Amino acid sequence: MRTWRVGTFSMGASLLFLGLFLFFSRILNFNLVQVMTAWWPLLLVVLGVEILLYLFLSRQEKPVLKYDFLSIFFVGVIGTVGIAFAVLSATGLMDKAEEVMAREERSFELPAFSYQMDDSIKRVVVRTVGYDMTIEATEEREVSMFGTYRVQTGKKEKLLKSADDIIAANKKGDTLYLNIKTLPNEIGPFESQGMVAGTILVPKDVKLEVIGTGNSLTLKPRMLANDWDIESASSIIVDVSENNNLKVAAVGVEHVSGKDGEWQVSEKENVEGVDAGSSKNAVYQSGEGKYRIHIANAYDVSLNSNH
């Protein structure tokens, strides 16, 4: 006569339920993490039912429970894994892990930004934060920004909901300050960084100052009617034309490029005995050079001629 040891039936039922849950999760497209989180309490139910059945069906006056410790250990391991899934899900780490596994590169449009200019604004100051930007002069009496950004995300909705998430505009006196913001980053081991390619349109008759952070800038002055000051950018491309009444002065740069004869280059002089290294000053001029683009603390400045 076979001896019934508590735990044997529980192990068999556990494997059966686990197999069924995994099977239907594939057929019905259930979330596997939710299945592993939700099914494990059945182990306790099955084990409790087995103990009650043993006591009920035992013919002994004082039945003694006999356990199959190997089976109970196996059931305990499965239950522990289920509890671990539940704890990770409750703390949000499981959702983070799922999001990381589902991540892919996605591109979105920047939220449209527009600031209507009035006659009291004489100057615009733009602070960038390391993203590649294009600055262009326009006939419109407003400052605007548009473009795209690219991030790693497991979500299909946009990371930026409004223009306030990427740019802050503050008017102080006769100056409009524009501060470009970084994209929101994940905190902790799942941190990721995105990329932004934006274009800022500025009225051509307003003085402009751009403060870079070692990023790349493309300048399109077109029919510029005021001065621009650019500093602390790594690489700068300036679109120029013979029709521009423009003078580009690059001070203390490492490298300049363009067509032969476009730049007038002079080596930077030593100041108070300090070696200026390989930095140089360079000047480009078209027309009378009435309006100036002054570039400082840049590594490379190149001209893109549109003759």
Give per-residue pLDDT as tens, 193-231.
678 999 999 999 999 999 999 899 999 998 899 999 999
Retrieve residue 51's tokens: 């103990």
Domain range enclosing 33: 8-101
Helix and strand numbers, DSSP H then E, in the chain: 5, 18
**Boundary of a domain, candidates 69, 101, 133:** 101
Q: Are 49 and 13 in contact (CB under 8 A)?
A: no
130: CB partners within 8 A, 6+ apart = 182, 213, 214, 215
Task: Read off φ and ψ for residue 293, nearest 5 degrees.
Answer: -115, 110
Same domain, 217 and 158: yes
Same domain, 209 and 189: yes
d(CA 234, CA 287): 27
Residue 195 lies in a domain: yes
Same domain, 29 and 42: yes
279: CB partners within 8 A, 6+ apart = 252, 253, 254, 268
d(CA 299, CA 307): 25
Question: Helical H runs in the chain?
Answer: 8-27, 32-38, 41-57, 69-91, 93-101
107: CB partners within 8 A, 6+ apart = 148, 149, 150
Say which range, 147-161, 195-209, 265-279, has the weakest mean pLDDT: 265-279
Bridge partners of 220?
136
Same domain, 68 and 48: yes
d(CA 150, CA 69): 55
Task: Compare 291 and 31 and report the one with higher pLDDT.
Answer: 291
Q: Is 90 exceeded by the pLDDT of residue 20?
A: no
Nearest to 143 by CA among 113, 163, 106: 113
Residue 52 lies in a domain: yes
Our CA angle for 205, 211, 216, nearest 5°, is 100
Same domain, 71 and 94: yes
Same domain, 171 and 268: yes
Provide the residue type at 207 as one letter: K
> Which tens digit of pLDDT belongs to each residue from 59-102?
655 555 566 666 667 667 766 776 676 666 666 665 666 565 55
**Whole-model pTM over 0.75:** no
Give the mean pLDDT of the chain: 79
Q: Which residue has the tokens 């994940």?
A: 186
Residue 91 lies in a domain: yes
Query: What is the three-class DSSP state of 236?
Result: strand
pLDDT of residue 275: 45
Residue 134 lies in a domain: yes
Same domain, 158 and 37: no
Residue 3 lies in a domain: no
pLDDT of residue 283: 93
Same domain, 183 and 247: yes
Same domain, 49 and 114: no
**Boundary of a domain, candidates 101, 119, 153:** 101
Residue 159 lies in a domain: yes
d(CA 112, CA 108): 12
Measured from the Cβ of residue 153, the count of other Cβ atoms closer than 10 Å reads 19
d(CA 125, CA 14): 67
Residue 263 lies in a domain: yes
Average pLDDT over residues 280-299: 91
Same domain, 71 and 207: no
Residue 1 lies in a domain: no
Same domain, 76 and 200: no
**Number of domains forming the structure of the chain:** 2
Same domain, 130 and 78: no
**Boundary of a domain, candidates 101, 132, 162:** 101
